[in-house]
Amino acid sequence: MTEESLSNAPISEPQNRSTASLVFYLLLTIPLPFCLFIYHFIVWSFEQSAIISLSAQAFAWSGIVGLLVQTIALGIVTGLLWWLTNDARFKTWFRGIFIATLIGLSTLLLRLLGANNDQLGFITQFLIAIILFFILYRIEKNNFVWGKDKLPFGLLISAIAISPLVIFGSLGLVGDVFLSLLAGLAIGLLASTLITDSAENVLLNGLGVSTVLTLLASSFGYDGSQLILIVLLPAFAFGIAALLPSKSATSVAIGLITFAGLAFFDPTELTIVLGDIAGLAVNATAIALLIGWGTSLVALLIRQVAKTGSTSRTKRAISWSSAGIAWMFLIATYFLFGNPGNYGDRLFVILKNQADISDVANIQNRDERLQETYKRLTEHANVTQADLRNIFDIARVKYTPYYLQNSIEVQGGTLMRLFLTFHPDVERVIPSPRLRAAPEASPSPGFVTEVDGSVQWNITMIGADKVWEEFGVQGEGIIIGQSDSGVDGEHPAIAGQYRGYNGSDDYNWFDPWAGTTSPNDEGGHGTHTLGTIVGKFGIGVAPEAEWIGCVNLDRNLANPALYLDCMQFMLAPFPIGGNPLTDGDPTQAAHVLNNSWGCPDIEGCDPNALLHAVDNLRHAGIFVVVSTGNDGPSCETVASPLSLYDSVFSVGAIDWNGDMASFSSRGPVTVDGSGRIKPDIVAPGMDILSSLPQGTYGANSGTSMAGPHVAGVVALIWSAQPDLIGDIDATEQLIIDTAQPYSGRTDEGCFTGEIPNNAYGFGVVDVYEAVKQALGE
């Protein structure tokens, strides 16, 4: 049957009209989008709790369980409504809603993919949607009306819907965009087989469209994208309903809107751990929701225009021109007011052939030891990476080589990952996610503008003030390497200790995130942790130690490559804009590294992602202090690099009473199969007063606050006894031997009574006793 004959055919009255069917239809379709949004927000929140703390790891299955419960519960309800309803207006709708509900069973696989597998997710979405479309199309093809006359109106509606996302969102790699477009269009085709105009008017049909789209959004979205789609798609349901019965128009409109919801926001970045991308997504979808409601008014006009002579050449010209203008305006908006650029994830390639430099530990002279380390590692990287670098150069693929651990970060997606996985030089390939664009954050100052200079309780607890007074040692001659969110280089408590304070930022500052050329801190975390190490006015352990800085965590989610960027800089600092492999000066290396961060799988790391890097730092004689993490109080929660490694000194947190902080991660380390006891020691980590941006002060809690105490402790020990500089084994043993026994509460988490144990390690750090013993007193 032709489109013209179909549109002019007399409309038969639906049989078996039923008021009860209408009531049930309204009771189902009106509240469902709102209820499912609330439901999936709660489910997503449970999933987020598993990301925030490994102690809540059981909630990691919330997404799968939640979708399964939804599918079974709604499947029973909608199936009964379809079976029991005889009203032709709604029976077809109940059938479509029932099928849309059951589709949730086929999309459970999406929730098993894990973080940072966007391209694989798009491919899976496409395959599920296109297979289901062809199955349903074969069943429905006799009733399938493509209706190309309304296609421009579908393009117009989608352009209107997408407009907020092009302003607030940003796109990934070209491959990401292409695959998300395929997935979106496939979902649009699938949706078009489930929606109909059988309810007679735009209002009732719109409610049905809204329900079907909500169910598909909740099924095909995952890791947070379901929340965007559940708001975005139903918002334009009445505009889409106005396009019925045209399947081409509805599938294109739904498909392009779905594409935008998938493409402009990376679902992994919607995590509350990050925050800024979720805020942008909320703004975009809220505006789209308002626009969608407004578009419902335009929908009536669209329907009237489409009815009054669909074969008119003038009307076709006007409709296509309107769609074209809308899309040109949309593209112009993206480039003028959006975030054009390539923000896609990358790949971190770990090579099989890792350099063995363990013998450099036998070199007595520190500078010679560091220079030999740098020389051998860079030469090894240049030789063993040559084949891969040549391939990347020929293919014009962007990449960054690393030497501290023989690795390469590569720009590429699924095909590149497949190629590298089977390359003979490659041990494994893991994600190296790059965050999408977000407005520059303003530094978060504290509420205290000055301190009185009295020694803080945490400094007294570990005996640092006694070291100052009795031995006259405050960290002189020791360089702290601070890798964090950055440092407020003008803060009065820490500015004077910056090694480049009266000189140059060359060899003293590196920002692989934004390329800034002098110390700054958008987040405040790095300023706080550094203040505990070197801060003056009673807040720091070693106030005369110097520091150099690197930004590895500008926005609270990084990746293995960014972490390695800073670790390399600490071994061999280089000038601003320099090449780490050729311009590094290992004679300017830091003595002690503070690492108040971890790299969980959401950031791309597997347990051994940075193992070789920390091993090589230890061989070079650089002391690596790491906070264990805030995943307690459950056992086996020391699970993310770097804190789980044997080559680092891991620090848990206690409060001012000496009790273990409930959040402090516990061992044993099981993710790498070692069963290693962690932490090594504990230090104050609750309500620690330290420096914050804009010259202010404030109290923070976390193992991030505990680790800096031990970095300061090492600085005091090495300053007091230079013979220990570079002797990691002897320094660790000294700290362990002089630790104070833990005397706090033991009613929560992994206390065995043995020493060391997986709650507090060897005890509470005591720098006074450590320095005293180091000096032989």
Question: Which residues are designated catalytic?
Answer: 484, 525, 704
Look up residue 746 and give its two tokens. 């033991």
The two tokens of residue 97 are 């809603």
Q: What is the torsional sign of CA 720, 681, 698, 494?
A: positive
- Provide CB contacts within 8 A for 63, sequence distance 6+: 43, 44, 47, 111, 222, 223
CA dihedral 238, 244, 246, 250 (to 10 degrees): 20
Report how far residue 567's alpha carbon sits from residue 318's, in angstroms, rounded to the nearest whole number: 60
Exposure string of 212-240, with b = 16+ CB inside 10 Å and e = fewer, is bbbbbbbbbbbbbbbbbbbbbbbbbbbbb
* Amino acid (1-letter code) at residue 609: A
DSSP structural state of residue 658? S
Cα→Cα distances 108→113, 117, 435, Å: 10, 15, 26
Sorted by sequence, the CB contacts under 8 Å of residue 41 that are 6+ apart come out as 227
Backbone angles phi, psi at 44, to 5 degrees: -60, -40
Alpha-helix runs per DSSP H in 602-702: 611-620
Residue 403 · residue 381 · CB < 8 Å: yes
Report the side by side order of strands in the sheet with 346-351: 399-402, 407-411, 346-351, 426-432
Query: CB within 8 A of 761, min separation 6: which ones?
Result: 650, 652, 677, 678, 679, 680, 681, 682, 739
Peptide bond into 580 cis (omega under 30): no
Cβ-count burial 729-753 (b if 16+ within 10 Å, e if not): eebbebbbebbbebebebeebbbee
DSSP 273: T
Q: What does the longest C-alpha to C-alpha distance in the chain come to?
A: 105
Helical H runs in 453-575?
A: 457-461, 464-471, 525-534, 560-571
DSSP 19: H
Burial class (CB in 10 A: 0-12, 13-18, 19+), 65: middle
Look-up of token digits 């790095």:
526
CA separation, residue 243 to residues 153, 230, 375 (Å): 7, 20, 68
H helices present in 193-340, as ranges: 202-220, 225-235, 237-241, 247-263, 276-307, 313-337
What is the dihedral sign for C-alpha 291, 293, 296, 301? negative
